[in-house]
Structure 1
Amino acid sequence: MCSVTLRPALPADLDALSALEQRCFDSDRLSRRSFKKWIKRQHDGLIVAETPERELAGYALVLLQPGTRLARLYSIAVDPSRRGQKLGEQLMDAAEDYAHEERRLYLRLEVRKDNAGAIALYEKRGYRLFGLTPDYYEDHEDALRYQKRLHYQPADAARLHLPWVQQSTPFTCGPACLLMALAALKKQTPNTTEELLLWREATTIFMTAGHGGCHPMGLAIAAKQRGLSAAVWSNQKGALFVDSVRDPDKKAVICALHEHFVKTCRQESIAVHYQDFTATDLDRAISNGKIVLVLISTWRLDGRKAPHWVAISGSDEECFYIHDPDPGEDQAPLDCQHVPITREKFEQMRKYGQAKLRTAVVLGA
């Protein structure tokens, strides 16, 4: 066992971290600028291993995803001269302890498919394989995705069968989620043109600012026309998204489109339930193989009070798992897939606007 002190990185560690990164990796290196950013933020998840001789022997970098119970082991490195001394396990202990102290339920990581030693270490520590990302590294090697439940492993683990689709514009979260459902239920390959066509069919045209978002009935109609079964749940019966729109002309347009969607749902025999879609309903839909799209407020994710569609990829007794189609500026796509949200926090997230709109679209084959 290597005798080291594990502590958060300090500004004085920047040169040593950069040099260590050069010694440890031939490609996919973290830049000096990245290390400087995390040190400047006083990010306690950048953990260094310091020897009694004040040398840096390794580090682990854990990132926390805002608004979720998910942590990600973004990078871990051990100086080549220190390998074989179980320093990697010490750093993993520190990474898991940090994520646990920050009340994260899962720690996730990616590892090269050809890195047998690291894979053996992770599996020995209880990490479970849950995905593969082709062509992930600079040399085109695939990445295996592992995760570990930091508190306990529930009997009813999340179902991780739903493909993830990234929205290509700031306003097509709903269509991107519908493309996920079409990929899962109809094996349809997602594409940007279809995403934009779906938005054109389902949009309310106006929102508080920018392009209009998608109406739940609009999404249900678009899904039905592409061969899926669809049902809508809404705790409001009148026009949606009008409470924060001041312009009377814009309100008139939103109301007109709402009435059109109501009429079309009636014509297409799409069930519209004017009641809340509860956690029990969501669990039942998932167990029956349905894909559920839910409107949330992004306040607890990024501090903005914007309406945003996400797809539910699974559930267990403590969490719902979401596919968020929008990585934003600070997140990697991998951080937006199967994101664990505690049931309590999810209840808080799935209310939008002053009227506390709760709405969902339930899709089946």
Structure 2
Amino acid sequence: MTNNEKIKPSNSKKICYAKPNHIDTIFEIEKKCFPGIIGYSKNQLSYLISHTNSICLIEKIGKIVRAFLIINYRKNCLLGRIVTIDVDPAFQNQGIGLRLLESGEADMKQRGMRWSQLEVSETNKSAIALYQKTGYIFKEKIEDYYESMQQGTCDALRMIKPLY
């Protein structure tokens, strides 16, 4: 490369807080990841994103939002709850979910939380493997937690991880 050649900046991957104008994209990702009645509605997602005791992180490259994570917590509570983590199917298996999870956990730690908790469908083997790999342990099984038009109900595993 000569001195006259310019290096084009690549679109960098970025994790940041969601803004209200991201709701349409977040909802589209939610529909792709959790079709039918199992997914959150646009109104539910809007509420979760804007609620005082919620954190919504997005992962984007350039202007393209590829994934999001929502966490709920209570003031003066040591437990944060991961409500959902969604990676657009077109971008799965690239480590995006792991990066979002780690960023969400770091955010919870900054806010003084000592535990992270989540629920996952017992049939979602790849998500369970990710959570176990990152230190989540099985806490309890919750029967009929998820409802699906195609599969009826599905049990969930509640998992927890210490953040200290």
Aligned equivalents of 1:55, 1:71: Cα separation in 2: 27
Alignment equivalent of 1:14, drawn from 1, 4, 23: 23
Deviations 1:187-222 (A, max 9, x none): xxxxxxxxxxxxxxxxxxxxxxxxxxxxxxxxxxxx
Query: Is contact 1:127–1:146 with CA below 8 Å preserved after alignment?
Result: yes
Q: Distance in 1 between matches of 2:28 and 2:52?
A: 20
AA partner of residue 112 (structure 1): S
**What is the alpha-carbon distance in structure 2 between the residues aligned to residue 32 and residue 15 of structure 1?**
8
Counterpart position of 1:210: none
Q: Secondary structure at the match of 1:103?
A: coil
Map of 1:135 onto structure 2: 144
Q: 1:46 aligns with which of 56, 69, 77?
A: 56
User: Mapping of 1:1-365 within 5 angstroms?
Assistant: 3-27=12-36, 28-41=38-51, 45-52=55-62, 54-138=63-147, 139-151=152-164
Distance 2:66 2:145 in 1: 27
- TM-score normalised per structure 2: 0.85
Q: Report the residue type matching 2:136 in the other structure.
A: Y
Q: Indicate the SS of the match to 1:141.
A: strand
> How many pairs align?
149
Unmatched 5+ residue regions in structure 2?
1-10
Between structure 1 and structure 2, the one with the greater Rg is 1
Identity of aligned residues (%): 28
**Cα offset for 1:67?**
3.6
CA change 1:112–1:39 in 2 (3 A) is: closer
Could you tell me how far apart the structure 1 residues matched to 2:18 and 2:119 are?
22
* Pair 40,126 (structure 1): closer, same or farther in 2 beyond 3 Å: closer
| CA deviations over 1:121-145 (Å, ceiling 9, x no partner) | 1100011101010111003111011
3-state SS of the aligned residue for 2:58?
strand
Query: Which structure has more strand as a fraction of its residues?
Result: 2
Alpha-carbon separation, structure 1, partners of 2:54 and 2:155 = 30
| CA drift at 1:98 | 1.1
What is the alpha-carbon distance in structure 2 between the residues aligned to residue 148 and residue 42 of structure 1?
Answer: 23
Give RMSD over aligned pairs: 1.7
Which residue is equivalent to 1:240? Answer: none
